[in-house]
Amino acid sequence: MVKAVRYDEFGGIEVLRVDDVDRPVPDEGQVLVRVKAAGINPGEAAIRIGAMADIFPSTFPSGQGSDLAGVVAEVGVGVDRFSVGDEVIGFSEKRAAQAELVLVDVDNLTPKPNRVPWQVAGGLYVAGVTAWGAVHSVQLDKGDTVVVSAAAGGVGSLAVQLARRAGATVIGLASQHNHDWLRSHGVIPVEYGDRAIDRIDAAAPGGIDAFIDTHGGGYVELALALGVAVERIDTIADFAAAAKYGVKTEPGTNARPGAEVLAELASLIAEGHLEVPIANVYPLTQVRQAYTELERRHTHGKIVLEPQPVPTQRSPLRETMLNRRMNPVGTAQSATLGTATTRRHIRYSACACVVGMPL
């Protein structure tokens, strides 16, 4: 038997539980992955409460989750691209990623580079592919100016970096405590909230060419008020506004298969060109606590579940870098998160994995 997240009816966090289920057996073209880390995403909560039942109908008991990274435990007939023991990044199309063992179609997997930590790999698919798709959908060119809402969130933090790589000037809407992180990535930070349009105008006197909305709640209207053309506005959250005004809602995999985009993003991370902030890591058994934090909608980066804790090996060089980055502020435990892993911000480069200041 293996452990997996399950729920029997639509509802809030209280319907979630962790069950013992039969060990899955791979069919032809499938890979059984022993999960090391699985990211969580707002869309999963929307599906669980039934808000997207017309688009994503459910059968019960239902599993949960798409993002995953782990080690190949078994392969089905016809699978020759992966072998037992291979480290992989991928996604489940069956809402089953939040489990110890998960069946994944072979085409939904890509090798995990050694320099990409498990927590980052496990939380990469939904946020990474969505950010990639949004940036490509607004057709950024060198010299463009783009605004990204919720610029320090799971999708926004990746979108601003990918937009910078495309050569754009990026304005990131975020709370004050995330402004230093945005500046460190070449992004112009702007406080969200009342009169944000005035602050954006002041930051970009030459005007705004494109807008990526990763939050919803009026940002499509803000983009239109800034004079952005509808074909250069993309929202991943406000589908009602998209239908009303005709702006884009590109999911990211229309242009290229998800596994190909995953491979590209993982390579950027391994080479030190893309950072994935990790807001928190929870054991699988604390799935309710993880979604409680997610649904507050104020995390910087990704929240990840671990079916089993991933050991951390620290070299003397890494310890020295940790000590430098942690001074004068050490790690901080959130008072409301039980035994969840200490909140942290992780930057990845070719030489080391550096844990920075708490957020």
293 located within any domain: no
200 located within any domain: yes
What per-residue confidence (pLDDT) applies to 320? 40
Asked if 175 and 270 sit in the same domain, the reply is no
Asked if 61 and 136 sit in the same domain, the reply is no
Asked if 84 and 100 sit in the same domain, the reply is yes
- 100 pLDDT band (50/70/90 cuts)? very high
137 located within any domain: yes
pLDDT tens digits, one per residue of 212-221: 999 999 999 9
Angle at 299 between CA 62 and CA 46, to 5 degrees: 30
Asked if 117 and 262 sit in the same domain, the reply is yes
CA 300 to each of CA 74, 119, 282, 316: distance values in angstroms, whole numbers, following the listed order:
35, 15, 15, 28
Residues 6+ apart with CB under 8 A from 147: 170, 171, 172, 173, 190, 200, 204, 208, 210, 211, 212, 223, 226
Q: Identify the CATH number of the domain in which residue 212 sits.
A: 3.40.50.720
Asked if 182 and 237 sit in the same domain, the reply is yes
Asked if 38 and 114 sit in the same domain, the reply is yes
Asked if 68 and 9 sit in the same domain, the reply is yes
- 318 pLDDT band (50/70/90 cuts)? very low
pLDDT tens digits, one per residue of 177-223: 999 999 999 999 999 999 999 999 999 999 999 999 999 999 999 99
What per-residue confidence (pLDDT) applies to 309? 66
289 located within any domain: no
pTM: 0.84
Q: Domain limits at 134?
A: 128-245
216 located within any domain: yes
Check pLDDT > 50 for residue 144.
yes
Asked if 82 and 18 sit in the same domain, the reply is yes
Asked if 118 and 138 sit in the same domain, the reply is no
Q: Identify the CATH number of the domain in which residue 120 sits.
A: 3.90.180.10
Cis amide leading into 358 (omega within 30) = no
What per-residue confidence (pLDDT) applies to 310? 63
Asked if 142 and 47 sit in the same domain, the reply is no
pLDDT tens digits, one per residue of 224-272: 999 999 999 999 999 999 999 999 997 544 557 889 999 999 999 999 9
**Rounded average pLDDT over 156-173:** 97
48 located within any domain: yes
| Overall domain count for the chain | 2
pLDDT tens digits, one per residue of 102-135: 999 999 999 999 999 999 999 999 999 999 999 9
52 located within any domain: yes
Which three-class secondary structure state does DSSP give residue 281?
Answer: strand
Asked if 108 and 170 sit in the same domain, the reply is no
192 located within any domain: yes
Asked if 239 and 136 sit in the same domain, the reply is yes
